A and B are shown apart, each in its own frame.
Chain A
Amino acid sequence: MSPSTRRLIVNMGWLTLVILALWQGLYALIGDIALRSPLATLQFTAKFVTTPQFATHLAETSKAFVLALGIAVGSGLAIGFVLGLKRFASDIFEPFLIAIYSVPKITLYPILLLVFGLGLSAKVAFGAIHGIVPIALFTLNAVRNVKPVLLKTARVMGLSSTTTIRTVIFPSALPEIFAGLRIGFSLTLIGTLLGEMFASQRGLGFLLMNAIGLHNVDVIVMLTFLLTGFAGIAGIVLLLINRRITAQA
């Protein structure tokens, strides 16, 4: 384990402690009306995750998320590579991507619902549109910034364009592409959950929305805890991989 990895994990530990302390403090301030203590949340979570109800919703969310992530990564990389390699095409399309990136996509959910109907495809689409753009933009910049001398070398050695992409462009652009994938992962996750909250009858997002409607504090706090925990751990793992790739490059 490298020193920087160890430092990151130690910092994570501190951060967790601080958040737990703040949580407990907030609970002392508010009480049971809108919050549960960390301990009570853990107990409730341990009980709830074994129920078949949880398993169904989790399976639904996982399916939607995996599909959305697949679409986001596939099309994001494709768009990024094509535009990164073609200067003129990127001059035309990059401003579109930036505009889509900066739009509050949550306002588009009624349109997606009308187009896709209530169900799996609407939330997959909602997740995917959150993830595609950052992945495409990061890939585009990464591919465009590959050192010209590397490309020249590839040309001198007579590599075909697919071989050039596979052996030169992709490895050299990988650290930055991975940074885009990391952001795309987070945004696809939040997009899928938002899609479930507003446009679905199943999944953890729906469960959360339902709990908000019924003011079921146990479930609200548990889901916030679980989702935040998952997002946090996945984010840290991706960050570690990202650092390793960057260090190798």
Chain B
Amino acid sequence: MTKAGLIRLALIAVLLGALEVLVRIGRIDALTMQAPHKMLLDLYAMLASGKLNKAIAKTMGNAGFAFVIAVSLGVISGLMIHRMRRVRETLDPLFATYYAIPVFAFYPLLILLLGLGDAPQIFIGVMLGFVAVVVNTLNGLDRVPRVLLKTARVNGMNGLETALKITLPSAAPYILTGAKFAVAYSLIGVIGAEFIMSTGGMGYEISFAYNNFDNATMYPLIIMILVASISINMVISRWEKSLLKRRGLQ
């Protein structure tokens, strides 16, 4: 491990230790923040009892589903938009401002259209993640070296073959960047929607626990979501880096 990495680990340890001490001596009261070791014990108890397994499976499943749709739809749309100059130019201002739009405002409309099941939550997750994937896919496609496209033409590849064998692999690192955003956004979409209105899931349980001062449930759930999103992101980053390294770009 590098020196910076070691210092980083030490810093995390110091911060957690400080939090532990501050809570123990009562400078931070236990109604606000739990001691870190207590959060871990609560997390273990929660998982062992299995009473929230359904909520966890529902949220993670929906977010996973939203992620898969956002990435596949985003890549396909990116490939298509890339070929249509006019469409792309028209959509550019939308892409530039998209993330300031309060997408959750569309949630009531989606509930009426799709019913109060999982569908509107997944839809919100897709709406949020999709555009990040499209924008990054376009960015990656812009950077495909011309010589590769020429090679494809010389070898008489058709459009689909070129996409699958040349452009997509070449744009892969950028698509992965988009996928990283999609991980966070699909979780944000699903959990946010559960906060607003739903009948179950981790977001629902978190806000229920918050309203009941049930920190023993709230903090473990929050930690699970944070750990899940950070670790998925790290896996994708590593993949991204290895792709770039193989091309001698980093």
CB-contacts of B91-142 with A (<8 A): 91-94, 96-97, 99-102, 104-109, 112-113
Q: How does the 8 Å CB contact mask read for A59-99 relative to B, with 1 for contact and 0 for none?
A: 00000000000000000000000000000100111011011
| B229 close to A104 (CB less than 8 A) | yes
Contacts A187-B99, A236-B93 given; does A106 touch B188 at CB 8 Å? yes
Chain B, Cβ-Cβ closest to A232? B97
Q: How does the 8 Å CB contact mask read for A105-134 relative to B, with 1 for contact and 0 for none?
A: 111111101110000000000000000000
Give bound CA distance, A14 to B90, whole Å. 7
Chain A, Cβ-Cβ closest to B218? A110
Give bound CA distance, A47 to B100, whole Å. 25
Does A212 lie at the interface of the complex (its beta carbon under 8 Å from any beta carbon of B)? yes
| A183 close to B99 (CB less than 8 A) | yes
Does A135 lie at the interface of the complex (its beta carbon under 8 Å from any beta carbon of B)? no
Contacts A104-B191, A114-B32 given; does A189 touch B100 at CB 8 Å? yes
| A224 close to B102 (CB less than 8 A) | yes
Q: With a CB–CB cut-off of 8 A, which chain B residues contact A46?
A: none
Contacts A212-B108, A224-B105 given; does A111 touch B222 at CB 8 Å? yes
Chain A, Cβ-Cβ closest to B188? A104
Does B31 lie at the interface of the complex (its beta carbon under 8 Å from any beta carbon of A)? yes
Name the contact of B101 in the complex, choosing from A92, A93, A215, A228 (C-beta under 8 A). A228
Q: With a CB–CB cut-off of 8 A, which chain B residues contact A223?
A: 105
Task: Report whether over half of chain A's contact residues are helix, strand or loop; otherwise say mixed.
Answer: helix
Contacts A11-B93, A91-B4, A92-B11 given; does A102 touch B183 at CB 8 Å? yes
Give bound CA distance, A18 to B91, whole Å. 10
| B233 close to A30 (CB less than 8 A) | no
Instruction: Give me 14 A-to-B residue pairs in the complex whose CB atoms sit less than 8 angstroms apart, sorted by A's number.
Output: A18-B90, A30-B112, A92-B11, A102-B229, A103-B226, A106-B188, A106-B191, A186-B100, A190-B102, A194-B104, A224-B105, A227-B101, A228-B105, A235-B96
Chain B contact residues, CB within 8 Å of chain A: 2, 4, 7-8, 11, 31-33, 89-94, 96-97, 99-102, 104-109, 112-113, 180-181, 183-185, 187-188, 191-192, 195-197, 203, 206-207, 209-210, 218, 222, 225-226, 229-230, 233, 237
Chain A contact residues, CB within 8 Å of chain B: 7-8, 11-12, 14-15, 18, 30, 33-35, 88, 91-93, 95-96, 98-99, 102-111, 113-115, 182-183, 185-187, 189-190, 193-194, 197-198, 205, 208-209, 212, 215, 217, 220, 223-224, 227-228, 231-232, 234-236, 239
